[in-house]
Structure 1
Amino acid sequence: MRLKRRGMMDCLLLRHGIAVERDEWEGPDADRPLTERGAKRVAQVAGGLKRLDVQPTHVLSSPLIRAIETAKIAHSSLRVRSAVQIVDELLPHAPPDRLLSFLRDLPPESCVLCVGHEPHLGMVVSVMLAGKPSAAFPFKKAGACLIELSIPPKPGRGVLRWWLTPDQLRAMGKRKTGVED
């Protein structure tokens, strides 16, 4: 367990799980849900996050269905007290620095789980760590990272604490939850 430093905010970024493929979906892209397998894998990933002793105080999600479903699974698994909050700052086309502006309005020393999409999440990480958007930080579906942010959050001032693939998180979650594919 990591001791949280005072005056810092933890931002946990999580890409949504495996969704129904676009060519197999007849409705709007925003309404594409997780597949059964995708939901099961997100539950395993959430189990891995639990083993890491991640304790979000807030859960933010993109308005797209696959992200909301991912956020709800993580929210339930991690037993977050506050409701999932749907925010446009996590839409795939949102400017990456807008999330930092949103985070400034949250209580200091929060732990915020943000569920979104690629390449947007990777761009957000780049802004947090390097101060400008770049495609240098790609997330796999249900992959996650933890960034420690100064208060108030500012571009280029974040510190990467860990970056884990979905396979790593799922392996940790399987040991904890016993959920298999």
Structure 2
Amino acid sequence: MPVDLYLVRHAVAHVRDPERWPDDGRRPLTPRGERKFRAAARGLSRLLPAAEVVLLSSPYERAWRTARILAEEGAWPGPISLGALLPGARVEETAAALAEHVGTVVAVGHRPSLHRLAAYLLTREAEGAEIRIKKGGAAYLGFEGPLEPGAGELRWLLTPKMLRSLA
């Protein structure tokens, strides 16, 4: 069965501050980042069919909130936590976890993990392509069959500004 994979980088978060957030996983989105991403999410929801979406997210606060906004604006089911989307996860593990899903899948995560994952799914090498997803932006990778390394095709890569223009 074909897979449509949308990789979404979390929206703009507060700057790292170990005094405010000793656990970096709890660092939230900024109010402005959340507001701007809400508009980008409306734009992305115009490109995606709501019924097929499986929304997976890193459990870190900034990615989780980004995924919740996507669910709210797209009228999709709430996100499912996926540890394989955490920063520093091995691309092989992330790809294997994503391959368990079919249809339309949205994965919300972090830099550089999402960039390396996209390259791996397109070329079979984590460093095989230079893919950069801006904070709050998205990439669409299509697969004619199951999600497998090297089998993906980059269909589009949109900045948050482009997504907002679709809202």
> Please, what TM-score do these two structures have when normalized by structure 2?
0.91
Specify which of 51, 54, 57 is matched with residue 58 of structure 1.
54
Alignment map for 1:140-151 (pairs within 5 Å): 140-151=134-145
Residue 14 of structure 2 is matched in structure 1 by 20
Q: Is the 1:104–1:151 Cα contact (8 Å) retained in structure 2?
A: no
Specify which of 100, 116, 141 is matched with residue 109 of structure 2.
116
Task: Work out the CA distance in 2 between the residues paired with 1:8 and 1:77.
Answer: 25
Deviations 1:20-63 (A, max 9, x none): 11138612111000111111111111111122244352100001
SS at match of 1:26: coil
RMSD, aligned CA: 1.6
User: Partner amino acid for 1:45?
Assistant: A
Confirm or deny that 1:156 pairs with 2:158.
no
Specify which of 117, 125, 128 is matched with residue 121 of structure 2.
128
Deviations 1:135-155 (A, max 9, x none): 711211001011112432111
Residue 170 of structure 1 is matched in structure 2 by 164
Point out the more displaced range, 66-75 or 24-33: 24-33
Confirm or deny that 1:70 pairs with 2:66.
yes
Residue 26 of structure 2 is matched in structure 1 by 31
Q: Is the 1:17–1:66 Cα contact (8 Å) retained in structure 2?
A: yes
Residue 105 of structure 1 is matched in structure 2 by 100
Q: Is the 1:25–1:32 Cα contact (8 Å) retained in structure 2?
A: no
Task: Work out the CA distance in 1 between the residues paired with 2:18 and 2:31.
Answer: 14
SS at match of 1:171: helix
Q: CA deviation at 1:80?
A: 1.1
- The count of aligned residue pairs is 164
- % identity of equivalent residues: 35
Q: CA deviation at 1:97?
A: 2.1
Residue 84 of structure 2 is matched in structure 1 by 89
Q: Is the 1:15–1:117 Cα contact (8 Å) retained in structure 2?
A: yes
Structure 1: any 5+ residue segments left out of the alignment?
A: 1-6, 174-181
Q: Sort the Cα spacing of 1:98 and 1:120 in 2 relative to 1 into closer, same or farther, 3 A.
A: same
Task: Work out the CA distance in 1 between the residues paired with 2:4 and 2:146.
Answer: 12
> Please, what TM-score do these two structures have when normalized by structure 1?
0.85
User: Partner amino acid for 1:78?
Assistant: G
Q: CA deviation at 1:121?
A: 0.4
